[in-house]
Amino acid sequence: MNDDGGQALVIAVLALGIAATVIGGLRMAQDRIVMLHRERRAGEAAVEAATAVIADAYLAEIRRAASATSSPAPMPDVFGAVMSSGSREAARIAASGVSLANGAREIDEVTVRCERTLVEVSLHVSGTSYRAGFPAVACSPR
């Protein structure tokens, strides 16, 4: 009878070891999924913040041209406003702040495209590209 009890104990310990390994693996997988979800949310929020800054630069240029009193009224330089290094740097700073607040890394670069009737802002967070944009009037170089 002692031999059967000893074998049952070994099997029980082996089963507990397997269960502990499985639970540990599940926990690591869960942590990885949560981390990836956090990085994705941070990237999405960062690109939205950068796009808001570029949209503000766009709107400021439209308003500047509309408020001019000269005749004929000047054409807005939409391309220059959204593509300026100042606008891109302000967008990068806003994106970095949001990214850091959401537990991701600082943003190294924000890319802006201004073609036809679309402004598109993109950036990378942990190797993943994020994009956002908005429609724009007269988005072409002068």
* The token pair that represents 109 in the structure block: 């670069």
Q: Residue 117 is part of which domain span?
A: 2-139
Residue ranges of alpha helices (H) inside 68-107 are 78-83, 85-101
pLDDT digits (tens, 9 = 90+) for 44-66: 999 999 999 999 999 999 999 98
The Cα 142–Cα 132 span in angstroms is 24
Number of domains in the chain: 1
Beta pairing, strands 110-125 & 128-139: antiparallel
What is the model's pLDDT at position 137?
80
Tell me: pLDDT of 142 over 60. Answer: no
Q: How confident is the model at residue 140 (pLDDT cuts 50, 70, 90)?
A: low
> For residue range 107-129, what is the model confidence (pLDDT) as tens digits?
999 999 998 889 999 999 888 99
1, pLDDT greater than 60? no
Q: For 74-80, what is the mean pLDDT?
A: 90
Encoded amino acid at 6, one letter: G
